[in-house]
Amino acid sequence: MEYEGKKGVRFAVWAPNAQAVAVAGDFNGWDGSKHQMKRLKDSSIWVLFIPDLAPGELYKYEITGPSSNTFFKADPYAFYSEVRPKTASVIYDPGTYQWQDRKWMSHKAKSDPYHEPMLIYEMHFGSWKKKANGDFYTYREMADELVPYIAGHGYTHIELMPMMEHPFDRSWGYQITGFYAPTSRYGKPEDFMYFIDKCHQNGLGVILDWVPVHFCKDAHGLGRFDGTPLFEPADPDMAERPIWGTYNFDFQKPEIFSFLISNAIFWIDVYHIDGFRVDAVSSLIYLNHDRGDEKKLTNQYGGDVNLEAVEFIKKLNEAVFKMFPHALMIAEEATSWPLVTAPVYAGGLGFNYKWNMGWVHDVLTYMQTPEEKRPDAHDLLTFSMYYAFSENYVLPFSHDELVYGKKSLLNKMPGDFPQKFANLRLLYAYFMTHPGKKLLFMGSEFGQFDEWKDLTQLDWMLLDFETHRTFFQFTKALNAFYQNTRSLWRLDHDPEGFEWIDPNNRRQSIIIFMRRGKRKGDYCIVLCNFSKIKYDKFRIGVPSFGKYIEIFNTDDERFGGSGLLNKEAIQVDKEPFHNQPYSMEISIPPLSALIFKKQSKKRQRGGKK
């Protein structure tokens, strides 16, 4: 900024219990006595303007605590940091980048995510792909390498595991020291802006994992910032998050509300982020969720709810949507807390999406069940429809399901090698046709066989094998089919968008349902056969008379299947079945999903498709 006719840098920091605060850096030999800050009158804020400083200078705050001990802290609001293991903050101006995403921003302002396709590619930036010597790809290199790959495979959004500055690689970014700084591991802030810009120019939205529940205890970070518990509660039991070895934020302080809500708005405003997946919401709203010890904390009424954190969540969502009505605020919330995606004024938490972790648990438990035992687990397939429209859901096959010891999606499937792939094609088709938006973790698109290993890149060599190349082409075709089939997403959050034809055929492990769009006659019929048995002349109920055509079949030879298709248009019989007025006979391959659509009258008369 410019102050009294001089250009320089203004520093400000919250340290209510400090005896003294100074700015130390390369420019003063790390001697804070040369740049002592002044405490604003009747305030907890210390400020100082230093003339002639420019971007690139290193600095920290030299703080003298209430016990007269002096220590250095990184700036909680730093825009940039040294590359780990170094810990100094770096002066940086984030407002100089020239954005080229006006078309995307204009499109987003007119978009309606609830009635549009949403297919999210979740990834860990540092382990998607690495250089031959083990180095990370930079933000700019990933913009050229990753963005065309994801856009070309049919995804609508990319979700990045936390990109804020963090000291330890293997925390995957979930234990943060620099909430306002993109990690310097992969380049400078303008390089991260370039990456986001390239995503937008290629039609990809960008979602960041965001972690307001806790922070790490590293000496240069937020912990005991002014020599006392400041960002964390004074009560050590309330401050500690034993399972992670971190500190919780103290939501009884309005300054914490300001720090975190400002942070969310900062990323959307300055970095053009399209939204957040808010991490560990259950750990925010419940005092004892994921504590990892035997202590039981209670609120002032003796309950388990963190009342102040709930109030924070509501104020966060109100503030974000007031400024950015088209933002995505996605809750990772694993309990039965009601109205997570209802507006605050209607008694909700105010998110617009929630991960459906119950569905993921049930369906993966079912899919790992050997085929001959699936009739006894049939309810795991159908139970989700009792609550599918109670929230706006995202169905997440996320990194949480694929980390060490949990196996990849492919390796969770039972059977021999061909059966594993058949089961996985079937699972993906059910995933794509079930109500809710979609999220898939990196590597799952080509059938990664091992679980995710954060120290190495994905197993790209698998694409040298025909089976994995074929599966890669299957997921690309399925993604395109999903985007082009309006009935699969137009009424994702409306009960009118789904109808069971037969949910009860546990004996044969078959379910049949309809997905409907908004327009009359816009629907498709989905049949999933979770058994290893082939069926000929299998009768299913249909809602209208005419001819139906098969528009997708996971058993297609081009996807690695046996090629048992319903190639010809199928004439409907005037025979009621499955509580439908008409029915038709089809062939069903084992371990397959089939999707049918009524043939248009023009097509039946010989017109062009």
294, part of any domain? yes
Peptide bond into 85 cis (omega under 30): yes
Q: Give me the DSSP letters along 102-130.
A: HHHHHHHHH--GGGS--EEEEE-TTTS-B
Q: How far is 77 from 208, CA to CA, in rounded Å?
A: 18
Strands (E) in 157-262, as ranges, are 157-160, 164-165, 178-182, 205-210, 214-215, 240-241, 246-248
Residues 236 and 341 both lie in one domain: yes
Residues 17 and 146 both lie in one domain: no
Residues 26 and 58 both lie in one domain: yes
Residues 59 and 142 both lie in one domain: no
519, part of any domain? yes
Q: What is the pLDDT of residues 85-102, one digit of tens each?
A: 999 999 999 999 999 999
Length of the chain: 609
Q: Say yes or no to pLDDT of 41 above 50.
A: yes
Residues 162 and 256 both lie in one domain: yes
- pLDDT tier for residue 436 given thresholds of 50, 70 and 90: very high
Crossing angle (nearest 10°) for helices 189-201 and 139-152:
20
Res 404: pLDDT: 79
Residues 293 and 253 both lie in one domain: yes
Q: How far is 206 from 209, CA to CA, in rounded Å?
A: 10
- pLDDT tier for residue 607 given thresholds of 50, 70 and 90: low
Chain centre to alpha carbon of residue 3: 42
- Contact of 311 with 304, CB cutoff 8 Å: no
| Rounded CA Rg of the chain | 27
Residues 500 and 440 both lie in one domain: no
Residues with active-site annotation: 279, 332
26, part of any domain? yes
- pLDDT tier for residue 609 given thresholds of 50, 70 and 90: very low
- pLDDT tier for residue 603 given thresholds of 50, 70 and 90: low
Tokens 């025909």 locate to 466
Q: Say yes or no to pLDDT of 606 above 70.
A: no
Q: How far is 583 from 101, CA to CA, in rounded Å?
A: 50
Average pLDDT value for residue range 562-567? 96
Q: Say yes or no to pLDDT of 604 above 90.
A: no
- Contact of 368 with 412, CB cutoff 8 Å: yes
- pLDDT tier for residue 294 given thresholds of 50, 70 and 90: confident
Res 291: pLDDT: 85
| Long-range contacts (CB closer than 8 Å, 24 or more residues apart) made by 542-546 | 542/572, 542/580, 542/582, 542/583, 542/584, 542/596, 542/598, 543/514, 543/580, 543/581, 543/582, 544/572, 544/581, 544/582, 544/598, 545/572, 545/574, 545/581, 545/582, 546/572, 546/598, 546/599, 546/601, 546/604
Chain centre to alpha carbon of residue 39: 41
Tokens of 449: 């066989």
Q: What is the pLDDT of residues 344-369, one digit of tens each?
A: 999 999 999 999 999 999 999 999 99
Tokens 């101006």 locate to 93
The whole domain housing 55 covers: 2-73
Chain centre to alpha carbon of residue 283: 17
Q: 92-120 burial string, b = 16+ CB within 10 Å, else e?
A: bebeebeeebeebeeebeeeebbbebbbb
Tokens of 437: 């938006």
Domain boundary among 441, 463, 486: 486
Residues 165 and 243 both lie in one domain: yes
Residues 460 and 531 both lie in one domain: no
Q: How far is 549 from 603, CA to CA, in rounded Å?
A: 11
Residues 355 and 473 both lie in one domain: yes
Q: How many structural domains are present in the chain?
A: 3
CATH number, domain at 350?
3.20.20.80
Res 52: pLDDT: 94
95, part of any domain? no
86, part of any domain? no
- 310: closest CA among 351, 272, 366, 273? 351
For residue 50, give Cα distances in angstroms to 16, 32, 37: 22, 12, 10
Query: Which residues, other chains included, contact 27 with Cβ-Cβ below 8 Å and sequence gap of 6+?
Result: 50, 53, 57, 59
Domain boundary among 456, 486, 516: 486
Q: Give me the DSSP letters along 541-553.
A: EESSSSEEEEEEE
The DSSP call for residue 587 is E
37, part of any domain? yes
CATH number, domain at 529?
2.60.40.1180
End-to-end CA distance of the chain: 62
- pLDDT tier for residue 548 given thresholds of 50, 70 and 90: very high
Residues 455 and 577 both lie in one domain: no
For residue 177, give Cα distances in angstroms to 15, 476, 588: 17, 38, 55
Tokens of 133: 């010597």
Residues 310 and 217 both lie in one domain: yes
Q: Say yes or no to pLDDT of 254 above 70.
A: yes
Res 343: pLDDT: 97
108, part of any domain? no
Average pLDDT value for residue range 293-302? 92
Q: How far is 165 from 146, CA to CA, in rounded Å?
A: 21
102, part of any domain? no
Average pLDDT value for residue range 492-497? 97
Domain boundary among 461, 486, 511: 486
For residue 328, give Cα distances in angstroms to 106, 318, 351: 16, 12, 8
